[in-house]
Amino acid sequence: MLNLQNDDRIWVDDVIAKLTAKMGVVCERSRNKIPYTTRNGTHDNQIEKDINWWTNGFWGGMMWLMYHETGAQKYKEIANYTEDALDACLHQFYGLHHDVGFMWLPTSVANYKVTGNPESRKRAMHAANLLAGRFNLAGGFIRAWNDDTTSEDTRGWAIVDCMMNLPLLYWASEETKDPRYAQIAMKHADTALDAFIRPDGSVNHIVEFDPFHGDVVRTYGGQGYEDGSSWTRGQTWALYGFMISYTHTGKPEYLQAAKRVAHYFMANIPDNGIIPIDFRQPKEPAYEDSTAAAIAACGLIEIAQAVGEYEKDVYLNAALKLLKTVDASRCDWTTGSDHLLMGGSAAYHHQDIHVSIIYGDYYFMEAVFKLKGNDLFLW
Ligand code: GLY
């Protein structure tokens, strides 16, 4: 139990009232879409643009969170619509990548958990098998990307984001009682512990392994500022991802890893609470990423719930600071625009800087429901 202070409880209730009011309007406008971002305040639609895009599960996930909170049927209808749309990816097969976890956990696994729909279970199992099939035995890692989207040879590439895809494998083992999926997830997590987390608690974004022999070849800065820097969203994928691996396995080394990354992250939160794109970026331009704040908050709240009374406030207070800063300075609560969070950034070297990004909205919502004690845990 989190046992929030009274003023924090009042703040959570206020944010949920604002969320409910805004989402009630926005979901109707975006009923037939899978959004990634907004253009002039209006959601784009990945069904028309790129149905394999890794973020295509988050809108459905938001709908399940809202359905869980309100019971309003419209959220379930929209979630079903997005899940059906994703079938095109399963049929095409080519174009799918390790982010099948991000795509089918908040859609099909969510649907199955809430309604028991056997079709959703089938889709999620299909996705889990695709993810398991990307495992490289020599290196003990799950391959991230395919060579069709890049000119690089990515057979040996693993990225820290994959920690958030592992729960699809844990779910598949829990569901089938077949340990193979969880074994792959734990092997990948063990590899990530050694190869991604640095001694100071910061993490690499990309590690390249020799795909035939498994040795580490080199690291890349990926979506951060440069190799050796500290891309903040990558830190949060590790923070929350290791925490989720702990939740599913009970292995104390995963909790220790989540805490190590969390302590590094908390020590680097600027006084104003605004999270940069990279903790080691130049001071100017003052690039920021609100999505990292929202994801970090989710992980910190989960850690707070797992540790003892005497240490939980360290994590809970950091999460509250991040979320209150986002609410006060980066949320658009008007019903005229489709997005919740502004100030999201796809990557340091990317044109999508300081924009709205759907996973920022999703994780902000998830964090607030966790604080209320009404989280539909989808990981
Ligand atoms: N998983 C890719 C990203 O965080 O941008």
Overall size of the chain counted in residues = 379
How far away, in angstroms, is 345 Cα from ligand 1 center?
Answer: 10
Q: State what percent of residues in the chain have pLDDT above 70.
A: 99
pLDDT attached to residue 149: 64
Atom in ligand 1 nearest the alpha carbon of residue 237:
4
Residue 151 has pLDDT above 90, yes or no: no
Q: Determine if ligand 1 sits within 6 Å of the CB of residue 161.
A: yes
Atom in ligand 1 nearest the alpha carbon of residue 164:
1
Q: What is the mean pLDDT of residues 99-121?
A: 98
Domain borders along the chain are 6-372
Residue 150 has pLDDT above 70, yes or no: no
pLDDT attached to residue 152: 86
Q: Does domain 6-372 have CATH number 1.10.220.70?
A: no
pLDDT attached to residue 54: 98
Q: What is the mean pLDDT of residues 160-177?
A: 98
Known binding residues for substrate are 99, 161, 233, 237
- Residues 297, 72: Cα–Cα separation, whole Å: 27
How far away, in angstroms, is 321 Cα from ligand 1 center?
Answer: 23
Atom in ligand 1 nearest the alpha carbon of residue 54:
1
pTM, full prediction = 0.98
Residue 206 has pLDDT above 80, yes or no: yes
Asked if residues 240 and 298 have their Cβ atoms less than 8 Å apart, the reply is yes
From 98, 61, 95, 84, select the one nearest 359 (Cα to Cα): 61
Q: Determine if ligand 1 sits within 6 Å of the CB of residue 233.
A: yes
Which residue in the list 84, 99, 190, 215 is annotated as catalytic?
99
How far away, in angstroms, is 161 Cα from ligand 1 center?
Answer: 6
Residue 190 has pLDDT above 80, yes or no: yes
Mean pLDDT estimate for the chain:
97
Residue 1 has pLDDT above 80, yes or no: no
How far away, in angstroms, is 289 Cα from ligand 1 center?
Answer: 12
Residue 157 has pLDDT above 70, yes or no: yes
Residue 190 bears catalytic tag: no
Token readout for 197 is 């987390």
Asked if residues 209 and 140 have their Cβ atoms less than 8 Å apart, the reply is no
pLDDT attached to residue 147: 83
Which residue in the list 13, 50, 161, 210 is annotated as catalytic?
161
